[in-house]
Amino acid sequence: MHKLTVNLREDIKDPLKRKYTLTHSDESGMRFLFIGSEYAEDEYDELRDEVIAHWDLFDNKYALRVFCPLACEKSKYSPDERLNIFKRHMPMVLKAIIGGDLEYITSINGLIQAENHIYYCYDKDNKVFESMGKVEDYI
């Protein structure tokens, strides 16, 4: 089981301004979740294995939007191989983000019922979209 360290950089009350950055260490198996008003770009790795997420509104309902970068010159994997790796790990990613901020998520009306929208990004304009249930499915 991977351990999770949560770093609350800023206690953002408005869900639409709350951003998540999830990184990990291959050596230790540790996962690191950063929460703040900006993505923790200072924590990005040259292999671009980070996952970022934020809340959004669609038809007056919250959605957790999660983004995974597929193109990376330093990676030994092709973008399509990275897509498969990210897809395989996405349930653990969602559990880490949701579990790491569960107290906040359960305190805001509508977040538990939010849909999970996953975007696997080849580049700025080329994304693969996947819906992965609701936030409550990963608690």
- Per residue in 39-81, pLDDT (tens digit) is 999 998 876 789 999 999 999 999 999 999 998 888 888 999 9
The CATH number that applies at residue 34 is 3.40.20
Domains in the chain, number: 1
Domain that includes residue 108, residue range: 4-138
What confidence score (pLDDT) does residue 2 get?
61
Mean pLDDT of the chain: 93
With a cut of 50, say whether residue 30 has pLDDT above it: yes
CA distances from 18 to 2, 53, 61, 113, 119 (A): 24, 9, 16, 17, 18
Task: Give pLDDT tens digits for 91-107.
Answer: 999 999 999 999 999 99
First CA to last CA across the chain, in angstroms? 16
